[in-house]
A = this chain, B = another copy of it.
Amino acid sequence: MQVSLQALKAFESAARQGSFKLAAEELSLTPTAISHHISNLESRLNVTLFHRLGRRISLTGTGLRLAKATSEGFRKIDSALEEIMKASTGVRVTTTSSLAAMVLIPCQHEFEQANPNISMEISTGESIDNQSYLIPIRFGDVAVAESSDVISAESFNVFGAYGMRSPSWSNEPITLFTTEWKNKSLPDPPLAAWLEINGLDSSNIKLKKFDQELFGIQQAMAGNGLVFCSTTLTKRLLKANLLQQFETQSVKSDLCYYVPNKDSFETRSAARFLNWLEEILNQ
């Protein structure tokens, strides 16, 4: 190509604003640079692009035609760049109520502190708007998710309010909150396996079910019983002395959190967020 793109950029701005001076301001250059660019362009193309009427300029017919093309062309490119830049200054995540409320939202500030130039936006619910650059963290069956997409395989255990005494499983009636997913195709929480591993039986246990783990956890924190839920959600609450666990073993489940097409997120922000997320979930 024999004409410089910067000259075209200068021309586009000057044409749009009808002034070398204003173009210079817009592009953070001196009017001299604009003048050089445009006369360079004119001599390379062998055309006059501006009529010089003393200290005033006006587009020639040829100039007008070129201006239309350059404006449109650059606008197309700029808007694509802008979209990318917008996407790269922040991450937009959507996930389950439980993960959002128990993990993401509490850690949001910490993430933004560690990554000052990345803002984090969290949404939950059925907003299936297939918007570009929206990162969905799904909760599902490990058998269904691509293995490379999985960020956290879920283990389950029983937790209770901090400070309560260890329950005596065989002697007293126990209220245990657990979850029955709204989505029936998901594997159930592995309560039976957990009981077996810990050598317990369910005769004294009175089960209460919610459709989100979140609610059972909140009940447990309020001292209204114990909760059987994923360790991912309670990790932070244990550290913060809001929940405690007992001498029971946790049990693996077929459930996991995963991000569909995890490797297709190419913005650095998304990559950093996903790394950070895997770290806090698997620490």
**Contact yes or no, B267 A62, CB < 8 A:** yes
- Nearest B-chain residue to A6, judged by Cβ: B5
Determine the distance from Cα of A84 to Cα of B47 in the docked complex, in whole angstroms: 8
Q: How many copies does the complex hold?
A: 2
For A84, give its contact among B45, B78, B85, B266 (CB under 8 Å).
Answer: B45
Smallest beta-carbon distance A187→chain B, Å: 31
Determine the distance from Cα of A276 to Cα of B212 in the docked complex, in whole angstroms: 87
- Is A268 in the interface zone, CB < 8 Å from B? yes
**Contact yes or no, A266 B63, CB < 8 A:** yes
Determine the distance from Cα of A47 to Cα of B73 in the docked complex, in whole angstroms: 22
- Is A246 in the interface zone, CB < 8 Å from B? no
For A69, give its contact among B1, B48, B65, B80 (CB under 8 Å).
Answer: B80
Residue count of chain A within 8 Å CB distance of chain B: 44
CB neighbours (8 Å) of A48 from chain B are 266-268, 271
- Is A74 in the interface zone, CB < 8 Å from B? yes
**Contact yes or no, B5 A5, CB < 8 A:** yes
Determine the distance from Cα of A75 to Cα of B73 in the docked complex, in whole angstroms: 8
- Is A70 in the interface zone, CB < 8 Å from B? yes
**Contact yes or no, A66 B47, CB < 8 A:** no
Which chain A residues (250-280) contact chain B, with CB distance < 8 Å? 264, 266-269, 271
**Contact yes or no, B63 A80, CB < 8 A:** no
7 residue pairs from A and B, CB less than 8 Å apart: A3-B81, A45-B81, A47-B87, A48-B266, A62-B87, A65-B83, A69-B79
